[in-house]
Structures are given as structure tokens and as C-alpha cells.
Structure 1
Amino acid sequence: MTQRILCLWLPHWPIQRLVVQRPELRENPLVLYTTHGSRGKRVWACSRKAREAGVKAGMTVAEASALSSVVSSQSHIELWSSEEDQMRLKELAEWAERYTPMIGWQTISELPWKMTDGLLLEVGGTAKVLGGEKHLAQKILRDVQLLGYHPRVAVADTPGAAFAMARYATSVRDPIRHLAARAVPPEDGRTSEDGKPIGALWEGLPIEALRLEADTIALLHRLGVLFCRQLRALPRASLAARLGEHPAIRMAQLTGEIAEWIEPHRPPPEFRESYQLEYPTACRRSLDAFIQRLLKQLTEHLRQAGQGAIRLLCRLNSADGGVLDIDVGLFRPTISANHLWDLIEMQLEQAITPAAVRQIVLEVMVSTPLRQKQGELFGGDLRCPRELGGLLERLSSRLGREAVLQVRLRREPLPEETFAEQPAAGQAARNLGGQPAHGPLERPLFFYHPPRPLHVKVMKTGDPLRIQWRSTRLGQAWQQVAQCWGPERLETSWWRGPSVRRDYFRIETNSGERFWIFHRLIDNRWFLHGAFG
């Protein structure tokens, strides 16, 4: 089957990502900067309002700030985060799996490529059952727009052609480009769906559409080669001798002469079962029977591999393109088809089943090796009893995985960042991040979040002597510190951004109460962070 690639391009992706995350910044001139060593802080990306004020990539932040302030006093400037861009792109890829399981931002080929401002989707198989390629492209465009983004979409036979069309053959008014035939040289004579010859579209592409390195593009510009048709007219032998192999490879990838595939952002599940209904049906009894049959096949494969399911996805695809996902998380690995069916049935009872289901898919998203453990004659494992696991699994199925949480310890220096919440069911690992480095009496049972400001009088050594805190518990009077233990220095690592440095003290007042306080070194202020007992 010939692959068909849909390229979802998100112009000015860092800015779009920031605006979707923080909608209150939508009307402000936005500037994202990065640090370039001796060149200082330079603009990496900017919003339309900032560009209208004269801001452009590469200029200094000071110059950009002066220009954007002329347009609005509400201009926003912050450090660009490539990690945040990549994380949000991954979240978008997971969301887009409703259209195809083959989705990513990197390619596998003789000369690989990574897309940093969009996604590549293989729609050759799914487009046929989702209304056709053009209908699917329009649907993806509308759905992504509903998320708050402004995408461009193109469909072609190769990742290179799809990217080139999305990037250089679309516009705000015409955000979709669909090539019904291969992006081949002009002499082929075939046309795209809008009636334009494929060769005309191909020839009109600029050199930048070939995904070449910036140095190579600059050299080609100096030579007067601005379009793909000019580069194609050059002899390939002399082209490789003067510019290296990359230009020739990229042209061959664009036309399909050299194969290039999408590298999925995550590998397809190892354990998967599906059933295509000959006649779509909405009969609940029939659907239940099909799902139970697939569960028996799936759990048998798990048993043979010595694996147990921790997280299972049941997907019902309807004939009209609708999708119903049932996400089942488990506290302990299982290969029991009956147990999995009980959890799926709980969610099916609350869900709105698509009008007519045409396909049922079961995928084990997370699995772990099954471990046999000899039972105890008296009692059992108190840390994870069977009843507790069953209760958590049923609650997660009834209320949703995100509604039943557990605490996971993190190795972070600041106390307020030493834990995080995660779903109790559907997690592969139960490791809590290691044991804490401090003793049980060195940290309070009750924490104040955020820490409460304190008035502190200190001795010459820097230890607290008296404390005062506006609260009904401590009153307005100064309290004498009877005993003090510390200081314990806690500070963040240099790569985490602005340094946070604190000196913590465990104190006991003359009234017998014990508190955990800290001295913030950056501004010489004191805070109450916790209470013992």
C-alpha cells in the first residue's frame, strides 16, 4: 500500500504553544528569547503584534523590548523553552492518535529529519474509513483549531512533499493543500485535486522546502539558486561534488525516489487485538460478546509471554468517524479476561456508545512481567492487599483514572517539590523514588503552603532567638526560642534557573511548640514552613 502522509504544520509554534497555555497573553506583543553565549540574549520567536512593531528573530532582547513597548505597555518577554515545546508537541501527537496510530515528528531514511513545529501522520490506511483524505484533512484542521491553534495541512505521498506543501503552498485563507498524485517531476503531467499540475506546484517551491541546512541554503542563494526547479536543472554529479550529497538526497526524498518513513513517537503496542465488523452495529449485546472474545485472545497472548496488563485501551470506532475510548487502569498486573471485562463494562454503562460500531480495538498500553508469589498461611502482604487493589481499580474505572491518585516521592531539594500526584491505577512502576535522606523526626507532619512570613530576631551566630507570627496560634507577642537545631542548607541546582537558597532550622519555643522555619538568603526574609505534632 502506498503511504500517504499528512503534514500538520503549526507556524510560529513556540508562540502558539504559549498563547494556548496562557490565553491572557493573546492580545499582548510576545517575545521569546534564548541566550547565545557572548552574543547575549537574542529573540527566538515573536508574535504578530511584536513583528508589526519591528521585532524579528535574532535581534537583542533590549531592542525588541523597546520596539514592542511602543505598541503596547503590556508586552511580554520570557525565556524560550525547547523542552516545553517538545512536551506540548508530544501531547498533541497523543491527542491526534484518534486519526492514525502512525504519527510522529521524525523520519527514518538515508538522511533522517526532525520536525520541530508540527507533526507527520500516515493516513493511507485510516483515511479510507474516515471519509477520504480531503475530508480527513479538513476534519483535522477544524479539530486542531478548536484546541486554539492555527495550523496548515497538506497531504502527499512523501514526508518531504507533505512538509513542502504545508510550509510553502498554503496560506491563512487557504490552509489545506491536497496532492492526489505523487510529487513527481513536471514531465509526468498529472494534476492535484485543485486542478493544478503537480509539476507546477513542485517547480514553484523555494530551496528552503528541501529541508537543507542553513549553510547550504545560504550558499545556494549566493549562487543564485532560489527554487527547486533551478537546483533540479543542475547536473547531479557536479551538484554532489560542490554541495555534498544532501541536496540530491533531499530532492530524491521529496519525489519518492528515496524512501522515507515516519518514526512513530511511541512504538505500536506489543499486545493488540482488533475486530472489523462486516456490518456496523449498535447492539450492546453483540458489542459485549465481541469485546469479551477479543479479551480472551489478548489475555492468552499475555499469558504466553509471561506479561500482565497494567493499562488497557478499548477503542470503538463508529461508521461515521466517531471514536469511543475506554481507558482501564489496574493497580496490579493481570491476565484475567473476566476481571478486565468487569472494569470495561463499568465504563460502558456510563458511556454513550457510537451509533454504529464498525471496529473494536483492544491494546495493552502498559504491561509488566507476571511474578508468582507463594501465599502466606497467616495473613498476607499488608502493603498491597488484594482487596485494596480491587477497590482502586473499580474506583478508577467508575470515576476515571485521573480521579483516583497516589503520591509519588521526588528527589527534589525544595520540600514543596518533593512529591507529585499520579493516577493510582495504570502505572507500570511502584517505585516511590527512593527513601528520603532525612530521618522521620527531621521533617514536620504539617506543612504550610505557601510558607507563612515570620518576624525573627537572630543572634550573632545567625540562629533564631525570638519569633513573631500573626496568627491565633502564636498570637502577636514575641516567643522565645528555647532550642534550635540547624541550619540545614537547601538550594536548587544551577540548571533549574534562578537559584533558591534557604537555611532551615528546627526550633522549640518556650511554650513547648516545635516549628520548622527557614531563612531565605536572597532577600534575608524568614518564613514558617511547618509544625511538628
Structure 2
Amino acid sequence: RFAPAVALDPPDALLLDVTGCARLFGGDLRLLNQAADAVERLAFTVRAALADTVGAAWALSHGGDEPRALVPPGQCYAALAHLPPWTLRLSPEILDRLDALGLQRIESLLMLPRATLPARFGDKLLLRIDQALGRATELLSPVRPPPQAAARMNFEHAVTDRRTLEYALAPVLVDFVAQLTRQGRGARRIELSLFRERNVPLSRSICLCAPNRAIGHLSGLLRAQLERMDPADGVVCLELAAIETGLIVAAQGDFFEDDRSVAAEAAAELFDRLTARCGSDRVFRPGLVESHRPEKAWRAEAISSPRSARSGAGDRASAALLSDPRISVPDLRPLRLLPRPVPIQAMAVVPDQPPMWFRYRGREHRTRRGIGPERLSGEWWTGEKESRDYYRVETENGAWFWVFREETSGQWYLHGIHE
């Protein structure tokens, strides 16, 4: 709710990386107060601090004078100077040595020659000082929710052959899918991990267009990822984990298979295969945008984007619409929409009728029939006030075009082609 990354600091602290989050809450102070208030409502006594560094925030929240402390940017030294050394999260041995020297404040500790500290107190003291003052980076280990389904296979001996891993993947996937089936869910994002004997683990993720637990489909996607993972360092364990899942709703079966549902499933699985092969950042689908101008009424969205991930129902609706035999293609928007309307020469008998003929790319097209007009108003708030009258026209050779006439100027434009 308050930060994208939260780490545990046992026994009694939470560490939040709120970098860039303050503007969402109206500033640092409001973020600090809202977070502390939320925990207090859970019947906890709260001491909280917000500072440039983890070390400074920890020190002030545990040993500061105020229950809520906000350190302005760049002021960590001044905020920490009066605090006791234990607030730097030092070991009891180091604290005993500092106490024996009469060093009761961080300010006194920092007066000692820096070069002498490692020899007298070890490297840990210098590291904690640098972390608190922002001279050394301190990374958090965020809490990760446990996978909603996971299966693995451990190998007695390290495996370096990819074909062996492919054989091992099959039973692991069966176990993985069985867990999803018992939960009534399908995977939306799966992480394939290879734990290696002589190196760090290898991991690759696949994102699915819709919740899925079909073994055949998932097997193909995972094998494609496995091909890109090098087992040369010796794999000792293969693991599948469902990072994100979705509910799969059971539907009433039909004696004859529904072409519309088949089309929707086929489209989703096609997206999955393209994403697995090309990468999630290279596969897009059109997303709707609220606009009266057709050229502005859509945008390309990555399949893996959050907005796109929520539109699974829209995919099925679109597939069902396109597969309905009662709807002919010309009754829909054109499949090919030109990036910008192209001016054309055209002649119409009366202003509110489709053109009798028009010229496009040096070729004259004679109209057999036309449907319209469909008036799309201008967007006065963007300065585009001109309304457009759109027509779907069929030419003598059977081709369908989408043309419009500007209300004021009377100029005709070609905007789309039905293919």
C-alpha cells in the first residue's frame, strides 16, 4: 500500500523503500503519518522514521526522541549526531569496546580518525557508519509472497544435458498443473528456475494472456524457455513456480463445440507463443482509448502490461464477435486504419450521401453502394472542432473503403480499408 518493496527486520521492524512514493501521498510527512497511522489501527505501538538511508531511519525510529521522525534530504549526520552508538545496529562486542572508551554518542565516534576504526573495531563499524550516512549502499531483501503453486525435481547428480532437463520437465509440470487444478485456478505467470551446482540459479518467466493449465500448451512455452538456459554449470534442481494465477470458471459444455470459445482460446495461446519466442516487450495488442477521432481511439499495449492483463474478457468478446456468422466484415470498423486520413478527390450528388466515385493513389474507384453517414464530432478541447461524416462504401470490384467528409470544408478523406 505504501511502498513497492517491504523487508522484515526481526524482531520488531519493517523496512520500506519509499523512493518516489511521497508524491502519491502529498509529501514525505503525510506518507510517514499515513503509514504509521495504518499500523497503529492494527493495535500496535508505532515508532517510525523517514530518512535518506535505511540506517538513519532505523536509528531514529529505535533511539530517537520523537515517535515519528522526518529527516530532510541530506541531513542524516545532524539527525544522528546525538544518538547513542547502539542505534547503528552494532554487535555487543563493538558496543562494549566503545563504552569502555567513553564514546556515548555517534558524534563522538565520528571524531575518531577514520583510518583507525577498522583496526580497533573491525570493518563492521565503518560499514554501519557509511550505510547510515549514505556513503555505502544498503539493499533490502523484500518479502516475496510464497508461490501459489510450485513443483520441483532434485537430481542426484548434476545434469548438464538439456535433453535430460526436458524429460524431467514433464513430471514436474504434471505435478504443477495438478496443484492448479485442485485450486480451480490457472497460471498467469510462471517462473522456471534451474539451481546450479557451481553458479547462481537461472530463472526465466513466461506471462500468459489468460489463466491456463493446459499441459500441452504450457509444455511448449516452457520448453522454449529451457532452450535459452545453459545447463553447462551443472543443474541440481528444476523448479516451476506460479507467481501469478487466475480463476478458471467452469462452463456448461455443448454437444457441438462453440467456434467462438475455440477462437478466443486459440487467440490467447497464440499470444502466449509469440511472447515466449519474441519477448513480452515485443508483442502488442490494440487497446481502446476514449476519443472521438478513430486514429486516436487506440494504442498499442504490451501483452504483459497490467491493463492488458485485465482485458482477458475483452479478448473473448472480440473473438466471439469476429466469429459470429451473422455479422459481415463491412459492418465493423475497417481492419486496416490508416495512420492519418488521406485527402482524396471525390464527387457526391448531395452532401449527406456517399461519393459516387473517388480517386485514391491515381486510380478511380466507382461506388456500388454506401452505408452512412456516421457522424463523429470533433474534440473541441484539443482544438479539433471539425465534425466528420463517415461512410462505408463498396466499389464495383467488391472492395470496401472507409471514407469521410469534413462538415465545414467539404473535403473528402480515405481513413480505412476493409481487407
**CA separation in 1, counterparts of 2:174 and 2:88?**
43
Q: C-alpha separation between the residues in 2 aligned to 1:460 and 1:423? A: 46
Counterpart CA distance in 1 for 2:418 and 2:20 is: 52
Deviations, residues 131-155 of structure 1 (Å, cap 9, x unaligned): xxxxxxxxxxxxxxxxxxxxxx955
For 2:229, the equivalent position in structure 1 comes to: 351
Q: Distance in 1 between matches of 2:205 and 2:357?
A: 55
Counterpart residue number, 1:231: none
Structure 1 residue 474 and structure 2 residue 347: aligned? no
Asked whether 1:449 is paired with 2:334, we answer: no
Distance 1:522 1:355 in 2: 71
SS at 2:364 equivalent: coil
1:110 aligns with 36
Partner of 1:369: 248
1:505 corresponds in structure 2 to 390
Kept in 1: contact 2:375–2:390 (CA 8 A): no
Is contact 1:328–1:344 with CA below 8 Å preserved after alignment? no
Give 1:366 deviation, angstroms: 3.1
Give, in angstroms, the shift of residue 527 of structure 1: 1.6
> Is 1:301 aligned with 2:179?
yes
Go from structure 1 to structure 2 and tell me whether the alpha carbon gap of 1:367 and 1:487 turns closer, same or farther (over 3 Å shift). same
Choose 1 or 2 for highest CA Rg.
2
Distance, in Å, in 1 between the alignment partners of 2:209 and 2:284 is 13
Change (3 A) 1:366 1:392: same
* Distance in 2 (alpha carbons) for counterparts of 1:498 and 1:263: 48
Residue 528 of structure 1 deviates from its aligned partner by 0.9
Aligned counterparts of 2:128 and 2:299: Cα–Cα separation in 1 = 59
Identity %: 16
How large is the RMSD of aligned CA atoms in angstroms? 6.1
Q: Helix, strand or coil: the match of 1:110?
A: helix
AA at the equivalent of 1:109: A
Work out which of the residue numbers 74, 94, 99 in structure 2 matches 1:168. Answer: 74
Aligned residue identity for 2:343: P
Would the alpha carbon gap of residues 343 and 443 (structure 1) be closer, same or farther in structure 2, given more than 3 Å must change? Answer: closer
Q: Is the 8 A contact 1:484 1:506 kept in 2?
A: yes
Q: What's the offset of the Cα at 1:348?
A: 0.7
For the pair 1:415 / 2:294, whether they are aligned, the reply is yes
User: How far did 1:433 drift?
Assistant: 8.2
Aligned twin of 1:530: 416
Mapped to 2, the partners of 1:464 and 1:372 lie a distance apart of 45
Q: Secondary structure at the match of 1:371?
A: coil
Matched, 1:380 2:257: yes
Other-structure match for 1:215: none
Tell me, yes or no, if the aligned pair for 1:343 and 1:397 is still in contact at 8 Å: no
Give the alignment of 1:32-431 within 5 angstroms: 109-111=35-37, 154-156=53-55, 158=57, 167-168=73-74, 181-182=88-89, 187=105, 195=126, 268=145, 271-273=148-150, 281=158, 283-284=160-161, 295-316=173-194, 320-321=199-200, 323-327=202-206, 329=208, 333-334=212-213, 336=215, 340-353=218-231, 355=233, 360=239, 362-371=241-250, 373-374=252-253, 376=255, 379-385=256-262, 388=266, 392=270, 395-396=273-274, 399-400=277-278, 402=280, 410=288, 412=290, 413-416=292-295, 417=297, 423=303, 429-431=312-314
TM-score in terms of structure 1 length: 0.42
**Does the CA-based 8 Å contact 2:158-2:236 persist in structure 1?**
yes
8 Å Cα contact 1:157-1:182 kept in structure 2: no
Per-residue CA shift, 1:246-278, capped at 9, x if unaligned?
xxxxxxxxxxxxxxx9999xx846614376989
Deviations 1:304-329 (A, max 9, x none): 22222244222346675564314163
Residue by residue, what CA displacement relative to the aligned partner does 1:322-380 show, whole Å, maximum 9, x if unpaired? Answer: 643141637662264x764454233212333473568745124232225265463xx52
Q: CA deviation at 1:158?
A: 5.0
Give distance in 2, aligned partners of 1:278 and 1:486.
68
Q: Which amino acid in 2 is paired with 1:392?
A: L
The answer as to whether partners of 1:366 and 1:427 remain within 8 angstroms in 2 is no
Residue 432 of structure 1 and its aligned partner are, at CA, apart by 3.5
The unaligned stretches of length 5 or more in structure 1 are: 15-81, 83-104, 114-152, 171-178, 205-260
CA, structure 1 residues 157+392, in 2 after alignment: closer, same or farther (shift >3 Å)?
farther
Distance in structure 2 (CA, Å) of the matches to 1:305 and 1:262: 29
What code does the residue aligned with 1:355 have?
D
* In structure 1, C-alpha distance between the alignment counterparts of 2:169 and 2:19, rounded to whole Å: 37
- What count of residue pairs does the alignment treat as equivalent? 324
Q: TM-score, normalised by structure 2?
A: 0.51
- Take 1:490 and 1:532, find their aligned partners in 2: how far apart are those partners? 19
Q: Deviations over 1:437-474 (max 9, x none)?
A: xx854456564513211245778857676775452322
Alignment correspondent of 2:3: none
Q: 1:362 to 1:491 in 2, by over 3 A?
A: farther
Contact residue 273 and residue 363 of structure 1 kept, 8 A? yes
Change (3 A) 1:508 1:363: closer
CA contact (8 A) 2:186 2:247 kept: yes
Deviation of residue 505 (structure 1)? Answer: 3.2
Q: Check conservation: 1:505, 1:517, Cα contact below 8 A.
A: yes
How far residue 430 of structure 1 moved from its aligned partner, in angstroms, is: 3.7
CA contact (8 A) 1:507 1:515 kept: yes
> Gaps spanning 5+ residues in structure 2: where?
1-7, 25-30, 40-51, 62-68, 77-85, 91-103, 111-122, 135-139, 322-326
